[in-house]
Chains A and B, each alone.
Chain A
Amino acid sequence: MRKANLPIVIGSFFIVVILIPTMISLFYTPYDPETMQITARLQSPSSTHWLGTDQYGRDMLSRIMTGGQTSLLIGFASVGAGMVIGVVLGALAGFYGHRIDEVLMRSAEVFYAFPSILLALLAVAIFGPGENTVMAAIAIANIPVFMKITRASFLQQSKFEYVQAARAVGASDLRIMFRHILPNCARLILVQATASFAGALLSEASLSYLGVGVQPPKPSWGRMLKEAQAFGSLAPWTVVFPGIAIALIVLGLNLVADGLKTKGK
């Protein structure tokens, strides 16, 4: 039996700790996450409100559970889109080389100079704030990384004999690229996707904290931190718990990515 990979086990545990309450919130939350109850403002954690209430008397636990939906969805969709586009472009660059490679990688370098937050704010200035803008910006910011690793592994794989063999039996370029070469690069891409997912969650939280991401009254972890900032010293739980939620899932994803990387060696 193979030895269990500790980082993957611990990482998956943290991910599940966040994922399960988020899934449950799809059909059940202890309180309505958006209903304000002025008589129950800023209550500390108790048996009625496990994680306390915010400045409008909204239940923190319900808001963190529901906020997970938005954050995870944005992270998943943006990394997914960035990955598909990046992998296809990187595959083209690595497989065909020459001119195509040069043009594609030069453009990727341009995007490398834009940190994702900068790109997101440029998008906000043009399209206005909101979830979709943020999602698109994070997706675009993720394209170059996937391009780079896919291109590198395609360059390496193209030299192997199985590629020549496939060509000799008359497989088309597309078939060679996506049926033969791509599966051999899958692990590296998966490791990057996991790490990128963690990064996307942090970006989304930052942008929602800045007020340009998820818009109220919809809960999101970053947005909750923005609203809690003024009450941080009065009601520390409003700042502490959403942050822990972000840190836990990011920690889990990073651990899994680390574990996958060492497992491949």
Chain B
Amino acid sequence: MKYVMHKMVGLVVTLFLISALTFFSVNILPGDPALLILGTEGDPARLESLRAELGLNQPVVVRFVNWLGGLLQGNLGKSIRYSVDIAGLIGDALPVSLSLAVLAVGLALLISIPLGISCAVKQGSVLETLSLILTQLGMALPAFWLGLLLIDLFAVKLNWLPPAGYTSTASLVLPAFALAIPRAAVLTRVVRSSMIDALSQDYIRTAHGKGLARRAVLYKHALKNAAINIFAAAGVHLTQLLGGTLVIEQVFGLPGLGQLLINAALQRDLPLVQGLVLVSAALILIVNFGLDLLLLALDPRLRFD
């Protein structure tokens, strides 16, 4: 419990530091959002009133406190380009990115668990060598390139799945595979090494000794112990994908956080960039925190540290 409280305080401090970092990096540097909206030929009087409207004539610290106050009420301010609430824009895009990330990690686990287990059981086999080569290859392939090839094969040539855009869950299949393949490569190695580790423990010998079926030893004893490692690794991939779906979203034209962020960055819609970066970072931290707690609940051994 003390550990959880300690972690919680750390989370709040980090969240505060992140909001400060995002805010000040965007606001202290030169550049005038009001000028950006109206253009350099804008009417000076309009410029002044817009500055007042955006709160730009106040000192930067006051603006930070105001922004922080808004944040706590779920108000992220207004986008410069779209003139709508940032929270609404993010709310629309978040489910797309989130489901893509979860789907990709799920697929990666589905591929890597059976593959990793068979590698661990049949050490030194052709299958193991082959999977080790394939995992090295999988880790080196850029996910977005994989996406381009998948579109070409499954959408254009075979016409099985939609090439781009977001119409139904089917639109998420190809992008999820493109994201899942490199992740599955890494996870297969994790599954393999944790299973090899688990299988070399004394309790496995005991289980074999008391005449337990091979299958039961493998799945009840070894996999259960290896699962903590696998779970932790999958969690790391999930958090990485929370901010990492953006290139794939661009490849497949998915209306997720990534597309919002890329457009906002290129159009220098600073309040929107600020909000998006903050939400993504906060999401990563919170999911991370949740995963830590879940691990703690799953593995009693961790509670003694």
Residues of A within 8 A of B (CB): 106-107, 109-110, 113-115, 117-118, 121-122, 124-129, 198, 202, 205-206, 209-212, 225, 228-229, 232-233, 236, 239-240, 242-243, 246-248, 250-251, 254-255, 258
Q: A118 to chain B: which residues have CB within 8 Å?
A: 243, 246, 261, 277, 280-281
A122–B275 Cα distance when bound, in Å, is 11
User: Is A210's CB under 8 angstroms from B22's CB?
Assistant: no
The digit string for B1-41, where 1 denotes a CB below 8 A from any CB of A, is 00000000010011001100110011001010000000000
B157 at the interface (CB under 8 A from A): yes
The reply to whether B281 and A106 form a contact with Cβ atoms under 8 Å apart is no
> Which of A113, A124, A129 is B18 in contact with, Cβ under 8 Å?
A113
Interface centre among B17, B139, B250, B265, by most chain A C-beta atoms within 10 angstroms, is B265
Pick the interface stretch among B116-124, B144-152, B214-222, B290-298: B144-152
CA A147 to CA B151, docked complex, whole Å:
40
B187 at the interface (CB under 8 A from A): no
**A contact residues around B282 at 8 Å (CB):** 113
Majority secondary structure, A binding face: helix
Minimum CB–CB distance for A107 against chain B, Å:
8
Q: Which residues of B contact A246 (CB under 8 A)?
A: 142, 145
Name A206's closest neighbour in chain B (CB-CB).
Answer: B247
Whether a CB of chain A sits under 8 angstroms from the CB of B262 is yes
- Residues on A with beta carbons closer than 8 Å to the beta carbon of B265: 121-122, 124-125, 212
Which of B71-79, B92-100, B105-113, B266-274 sits within the interface?
B266-274
Q: Does B50 contact A (CB under 8 A)?
A: no
Residues of B within 8 A of A206 (CB): 142, 144, 247
Q: Which residues of A contact B137 (CB under 8 A)?
A: 247, 251
Interface residues of B (CB under 8 A from A): 10, 13-14, 17-18, 21-22, 25-26, 29, 31, 136-137, 139-142, 144-145, 148-149, 151-152, 156-157, 240, 243-244, 246-247, 250-251, 261-262, 264-266, 268-270, 273, 277, 280-282, 284-285
Judging by beta carbons under 8 Å apart, are B142 and A247 in contact? yes
Cα–Cα distance between A202 and B144 once the two chains are bound (Å):
10
Q: Is there contact, CB below 8 Å, between B273 and A247? A: no
Contact (Cβ within 8 A) A122 B22: yes
Point out which of B149, B246, B247 has the most chain A C-beta atoms below 10 A from its C-beta: B247
Residue on A nearest B283 in the bound complex, by CB: A113
B266 touches A247 (CB 8 A): no
Given contact pairs A209-B247, A247-B142, a sample of 13 additional A-B residue pairs in the complex whose CB atoms are under 8 Å apart: A107-B17, A113-B14, A118-B280, A118-B281, A122-B22, A125-B264, A126-B26, A126-B29, A209-B144, A229-B148, A239-B145, A243-B149, A247-B140
Contact of A121 with B273 at beta-carbon distance under 8 Å, contacts A210-B247, A233-B157, A239-B149 already known: yes
User: What residues of A have a CB within 8 angstroms of the CB of B262 in the complex?
Assistant: 121, 210, 212
Cα distance, A115 to B265, chains bound together (Å): 16
Whether the Cβ atoms of B144 and A225 lie closer than 8 Å is yes
**How far does the Cβ of A182 sit from chain B's closest Cβ, in whole Å?**
29
**A232 near B152 (CB under 8 angstroms)?**
yes
A117 to B269, alpha carbons, bound, how many Å? 17
A250 touches which one: B140, B270, B284 (CB < 8 A)? B140
Known contacts: A118-B280, A211-B266, A250-B140. The answer to whether A125 contacts B26 by CB under 8 A is yes
Given contacts A125-B264, A225-B148, contact A251 B140 (CB under 8 A): yes
User: With a CB–CB cut-off of 8 A, which chain B residues contact A225?
Assistant: 144-145, 148
Contact between A233 and B152 (Cβ–Cβ < 8 Å)? yes
Q: For the complex, what is the distance from the CA of A129 to the CA of B263, rounded to whole Å?
A: 12
Cα distance A206–B258 in the bound complex, in angstroms:
12
Picked from A107, A125, A129, A248, the residue with its CB within 8 Å of the CB of B273 is A125
**A195 CB, nearest partner CB in chain B, Å:** 10
Asked whether, in the complex, the Cβ of A115 is within 8 Å of the Cβ of B266, the reply is no
| Contact of B152 with A239 in the complex, beta carbons under 8 Å | yes
With A124-B266, A125-B265, A233-B156 as contacts: A205 and B277 at CB distance below 8 Å: no
Q: How far is the CA of A40 from the CA of B277 in the complex (A)?
A: 44
Chain A to chain B contacts (Cβ below 8 Å), 15 pairs: A110-B21, A113-B14, A113-B281, A117-B243, A122-B273, A125-B26, A125-B269, A126-B26, A128-B268, A205-B144, A232-B152, A236-B152, A240-B149, A246-B145, A251-B137
A113: shortest Cβ distance to chain B, in Å? 4
How long is the Cα–Cα vector from A124 to B277 in the complex, in angstroms? 12
What's the minimum C-beta distance from B238 to chain A, rounded to whole angstroms? 12
- Chain B residues contacting A258 (CB-CB under 8 Å) are 136
When the two chains form their complex, are residues A247 and B247 in contact, meaning their CB atoms are under 8 A apart? no
A232 — which chain B residues lie within 8 A by C-beta?
148, 151-152, 156
Q: Point out the residues of chain B lying under 8 angstroms from A250, CB to CB.
A: 139-140, 142
Provide the bound-state CA to CA distance between A228 and B251, in Å.
Answer: 12
Instruction: Kindly state the separation between the CA atoms of A29 and B71 in the bound complex, as whole angstroms.
Output: 54
With a CB–CB cut-off of 8 A, which chain A residues contact B31?
126
Q: Which 9 A-B pairs have the closest CB atoms?
A: A251-B140, A243-B145, A115-B243, A125-B273, A250-B140, A125-B265, A233-B156, A113-B281, A121-B265
